Amino acid sequence: MPDGHETLLEIEDLSVHYRSTHGDVAAVSGVNLSVRRGEILGIAGESGSGKSTLAVALLRLLRPPGYIAGGSVTFRPKNSPEVDLLNLDERRLRVLRWRSLSYLPQGSMNSMNPVMRVEGQFRDVIEEHSSLSRSQIDAMIPRLLGQVGLEPSVARMYPHELSGGMKQRVLMAISIALEPDLVVADEPTTALDVTIQRVILQSLADLRSAFGVTLVVISHDMGVHAQLVDRVAVMYEGAVVEVGDVRQVFKQPSHEYTRSLIDSIPKIGPVATPAPVGQSEAL
């Protein structure tokens, strides 16, 4: 958890709509949310609650028919003046991406170039967004892979040679290659088995410890938030209905929807034995 309460990202009254033949549909409605430097903030909610739409909107990755209907997103990178990401020109936004602001998308299976080795995918990002030489980049790659628990030999592999968990960790390594201020991870454990999920969660926690990276972790799985985040924001029907310290939210949720999400977590304990057919429980 960060020592202070310096705000890195401030989302104010953000609304996102999708155009349809039946009129505009609000996917995100008037969201107000802050992200503190150095923390891991979780965004929770079931599918369709607006979590991923919120992420791609603040990163300016929203595609038609979606559009930003209103609001502002103030970003305060280190050693640079604050900017409103929603009103930033494309040139300045391109400078910020990867160097100050990174995105770990859903679906690692579809997020890598299938005909390029892993090392080439690192080079593409780093050469485009930094002035490092080829030799400097090549020296970085084994270290970055090691940070997420992968062997240096992975650099020479193609995506089809990697498991789903390995692909996800490669993308994590690429996302922190230039030590950005903020990484947004959208459903980082989806479609992975529970053993690999644990590895991914530990790798995300290590990124904060090793690099001081601020993380926004989007997940429908409340168990992920319980294990990883410092604070959690709960979204329901496009709105944030509760924000708080993760322990406080789990112990005393203030919104009925949050309670239902917590109750959906599988629990270990004795199972009540049903009464024999034809007998009451009192017997």
Q: What is the mean pLDDT of residues 18-33?
A: 95
Q: How many CA atoms lie within 13 A of 278 on its CB side?
A: 0
Q: What is the mean pLDDT of residues 7-23?
A: 96
Please, are residues 1 and 39 in contact by the beta-carbon 8 Å criterion?
A: yes
Q: What is the mean pLDDT of residues 92-99?
A: 89
Is a pLDDT exceeding 70 seen at residue 280?
no
Full set of structural domains in the chain with CATH: 7-263 (3.40.50.300)
Stated pTM of the model? 0.88
